[in-house]
Amino acid sequence: MSRRLLPLLLLLLAALVPWLGLSTYTQRLVNLGLVFSLLAISLNLLLGYAGQISLGHAGFFGIGAYTAALLAEGGSGLLFWPGLLLAGLVTGLAGLAIGLPTLRLRGHYLALATLGFGEIMRLLFFNWREVTRGMDGISGIPAPALPGFAFDTEARLFGLAAVLVALVLLLVRRLDGSKYGRWLAAIRDAELAAGTCGVNVPRLKLGVFMGSAALAGAAGALYAHMMTFISPDTFGFEVTAQVLSMVVVGGIGTVAGPVLGAFLLTFLPEWLRVSNAYYQLIYGAGLALMIVFLPAGLWGLVRSKLRRAAPALLVEPPPLAGLPAEIGAAPADSALLDARGVTRRFGGLVAVDGLDLTVQAGSIHALIGPNGSGKSTFINLASGLYGLSGGSISFAGRPVGGARPWAIAQAGLARSFQNLRLFGSLTVEQNVLVACRAAHPAGLVRVLLASATARAEEAALRAAAAEAMQALGVWPLRDRVVKTLPHEQQRMVEIARALAMRPRLLMLDEPAAGMNPSEADQLVTRIRALRDRGITILLVEHNMPLVMRLADRITVLNFGRKVAEGTPAEIRSNPAVIEAYLGRRHLKQMTADAAAAG
C-alpha cells in the first residue's frame, strides 16, 4: 500500500465510525481520542521534529481550555470559533514567553524548565478562583455550533473533531516534507551543524515552540466545548505524561504516529479494566515492552513494512549543468577572507594568538600545524561558532566577527567539520537539501498551502541538491540514511552539503581523515574541481602529501601563532615548520646529517 493511499483509507474508516452503532460511551472515547490526537501532534512538533522536550504541555492545554470556556460560558455555541482562535493565540503567546528564556536549554534542563511551567499553571488553575472558579470549575460551556446547526451529539462532535484532526495532519504532512521540516530535523540531529548550513536556529526553535503551544491550546478549546465543563484536576502532570506516552508509542517524529498512539492509549485502559486491580501493572508493562522492542513506535513499524513492500524505482540523475561560476565570483588575487590580529582565549589558554591570515579569492589555501595549534579554532571563529577575544575577521570586505553562524553561512561561507556533524536520521538527499537555498524562497504559509511558489521552490531545491550530490559522487546514495554509510562516504556527503550552499569560500576541516590513499586521490580531484568552479578553499589537513599537491599557499600554526607562510616549496624546506612538526632534536639531527653529507 502506498503512502498516498494510506491516508485516504484512514479517512474512509473515520467516515464510517458514526454508522458502526457504537454506544454513547464508546463514541465519547473516540472523540476524546481525537482531542488527544491534537494534543499529541502538538507535542510531537516540538519533541519529534525539533528535538525539544516539553513536560508542561498540560499547562498549554489548560490555558486553551480556560480561554475558550471563559469566552463562551453561558453563551452561544457560535463562540466556539472565536474561542478556538483566541485559545491558539493566547497559548502561542504563552509559548513565546516560555520559549524565549529557554532557547539555550536542551535535554533535562529544558524538561525541568517546562515541568516547572506546567506546575505553575496547575497551581494557578486551582488558586485563581476569581477567574478559574478553583475546584468548582467552569460549567455551562456550550457545544460548538454553526448558524442553524449545533454539534450537540457525540456523532456530530466526532465529525467536527475528525475534520480538525484531518486538517492538522494535512498541514503537518506538508511541513514534514518541506524545507521547514528538514530544518527542524537538522536542529534535532545536530544543532551546531544546522546553524552553519544557514538555518536560523533560535528563530525556528521559537517558532515551533509557539506553534506547538498554539495547537495544544486549540485542543484545550475543543476539549472544553466537548465536555461542557472543566476543572483544574484535568490539567495536571498526568496529562503530559500520558500525551508523551502517546507520542513515543505511536512514533516520535512521524506524521500519523501520534494519532495512532493517542487512540491506543485512550482505549487501552478501558480494555484492561476487566483485569481489575492488575490493569495498571499490565498497562505499564505493556508500554515498557513497546518502547523497548518498538523504539520507532507503531507507525515506525508500519512505515518500515510499507518501504519494504514498495518497489525500488530507478531514477535517472538530472543532467549536470555545473554550478555557476558566479558562486565564487571575485576579482582574482583579491582578499576574500582577511584576518587581522585574531585571538581566542579559553580561560587561561590562548588557542589562537594574534593571527594574521589572508585567503586570496580563487585559491586553495592550506592551514597546517600540529594538533592543538589552533587550526580548527580559527575555522570555528570564521564560521561564527566562537566569538573573538581580539582582532577582526572580514569576509568579502564585510566584518563577520560576532555574526551568527547562519548569517555567515548565508553570506557565502560554508564549512565541514573535523568530527562529522551530519543529520544522522535523514537521508543523503535530505542532508544536502538542508543547505540548499532558492532564489525566491516561499514563506511558511505558502508551504503549508502548497502554493505554486512553494512547489517551484521545492523543485529548484531538489535540482540544486542533485547537482551537489553528483559533483561529489554521492548521487547513487541519495536515498540511504546517512548514518548507515561508511566514514569516507559520509565525508563526501558533508562536503556535498556545504557545496549545496553555493559558497564563495569553503572551509574544509581535515576532509581526508580516515581515508585510504585511493580515496584521498579522489578527494584531491574533487577539491580541484571545486576550485575550478570558482570556489575558494581554506583547507585544514594533516595529510602533508595531499596538502603539498593541492595548496597554492600554506600557513603554518604552532601554539596558536603563525610560524611560517608561503608556497608549498617554501614551506617544505622551512626550518621553523620542520621544528614545529618534528621537534628541535630532529631538526638538529637533520642539520648535522646535511652538513656531513655536504
- Note whether residue 515 is domain-resident: no
- Note whether residue 282 is domain-resident: no
Please give the Cα distance from 154 to 24 (Å, whole number): 7
How many CB atoms are closer than 10 A to CB 358?
A: 16
Long-range contacts of 282-289 (CB under 8 A, 24+ apart): 287/245, 287/249
Q: What are phi and psi of 31, to 5 degrees?
A: -65, -40
- Note whether residue 164 is domain-resident: yes
- Note whether residue 176 is domain-resident: yes
Q: In what order do the strands lie in the sheet with 505-509?
A: 413-415, 505-509, 536-540, 364-368, 553-558, 561-566
Please give the Cα distance from 100 to 165 (Å, whole number): 28
Return the bridge partners of 153, or none. Answer: none
Please give the Cα distance from 489 to 473 (Å, whole number): 9
Length of the chain: 598
- Note whether residue 324 is domain-resident: no
Residue-number span of the structural domain to which 72 is assigned: 26-235
Q: What HEC string does 145-192 produce?
A: EECCEECCCHHHHHHHHHHHHHHHHHHHHHHHCCHHHHHHHHHHHCHH
Please give the Cα distance from 559 to 458 (Å, whole number): 46
Are 78 and 146 contacting, i.e. CB atoms less than 8 angstroms apart? yes
- Note whether residue 253 is domain-resident: no
Q: CA-CA distances (angstroms) from residue 142 to 70, 100, 125?
A: 11, 35, 21
- Note whether residue 148 is domain-resident: yes
3-class SS of residue 564: strand
State the total domains in the chain. 1
- Note whether residue 367 is domain-resident: no
Give pLDDT tens digits along the chain (598 positions).
Answer: 444 555 566 666 666 776 777 788 888 999 999 999 999 999 999 999 988 888 999 999 999 999 999 999 988 999 999 999 999 999 999 999 998 888 888 778 888 899 999 999 999 999 999 999 888 899 999 999 999 999 988 889 998 999 999 999 999 999 999 999 999 999 999 999 999 999 999 999 999 999 999 999 999 999 999 999 999 988 989 899 899 989 988 888 888 889 989 998 888 877 776 666 666 676 677 667 776 767 667 777 776 666 555 554 445 555 544 444 444 444 556 789 999 999 999 988 999 999 999 999 999 999 998 888 899 999 999 999 999 999 999 999 899 888 899 999 999 999 999 889 999 999 999 999 999 998 889 999 999 999 999 999 999 999 999 999 999 999 999 999 999 999 889 999 999 999 999 999 999 999 988 888 888 889 999 999 999 989 999 999 888 889 999 999 999 998 899 999 999 888 888 887 777 665 555 545 544 554 554 4
Are 587 and 578 contacting, i.e. CB atoms less than 8 angstroms apart? yes
